[in-house]
């Protein structure tokens, strides 16, 4: 069974750094892209970017380029999303999801989400 297990909820202060994780199991981690999706409170889904753990190739949404960093450690089947300096506007639930490739690319398995709260 494919599983993506994300790290737990975080409470941080503005300006602090943060790295959240997404551990994959039940499949060959290195051969599927992993994407990250933001959901702000009461809002919809936004694609942030994705990484191919096999060679760490990354692609970012223009809206998130330079705002976050996506990385992966294939030795432990884990993808990461990190911020160098959090802002209150980063408050959201962040989901990782595995990319399935058929005629197109889509998300076939999702993590449970990580709630990030930023407050002074």
Partner 1 sequence: NFMLTQPHSVSESPGKTVTISCTRSSGTIASNYVHWYQQRPDSAPTTVIYDDVQRVSGVPGRFSGSIDSSSNSASLTISGLKTEDEADYYCQSFDGTSWVFGGGTKLTVL
Contact residues toward partner 1 (CB under 8 A) are 35, 37, 44-47, 61-62, 95, 97, 100, 102-108, 110-113
Which residue, 62 or 75, has its beta carbon nearer to partner 1?
62
Which residue, 80 or 95, has its beta carbon nearer to partner 1?
95
Residues 6+ apart with CB under 8 A from 74: 29, 30, 53, 54, 56
- Nearest-CA neighbor of 110 among 31, 49, 16, 22? 22
User: What are the φ and ψ backbone dihedral angles of 110, each rounded to 5 degrees?
Assistant: -120, 145
Q: Give least dist CB 112 to partner 1, A.
A: 5
Q: Give least dist CB 119 to partner 1, A.
A: 21
């Amino acid at each position: 069974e494919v599983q993506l297990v994300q790290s737990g909820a975080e409470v941080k202060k503005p300006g602090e750094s943060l790295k959240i994780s997404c551990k994959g199991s039940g499949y060959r981690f290195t051969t599927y892209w992993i994407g990250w999706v933001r959901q702000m409170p009461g809002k919809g889904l936004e694609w942030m970017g994705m990484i191919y753990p096999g060679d760490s190739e990354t692609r970012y949404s223009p809206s998130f380029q330079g705002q976050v960093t996506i990385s992966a450690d294939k030795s432990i089947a884990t993808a990461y999303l990190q911020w160098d300096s959090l802002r209150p506007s980063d408050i959201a639930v962040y989901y990782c999801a595995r990319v399935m490739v058929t005629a197109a690319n889509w998300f076939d398995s999702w993590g449970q989400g990580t709630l990030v709260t930023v407050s002074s």
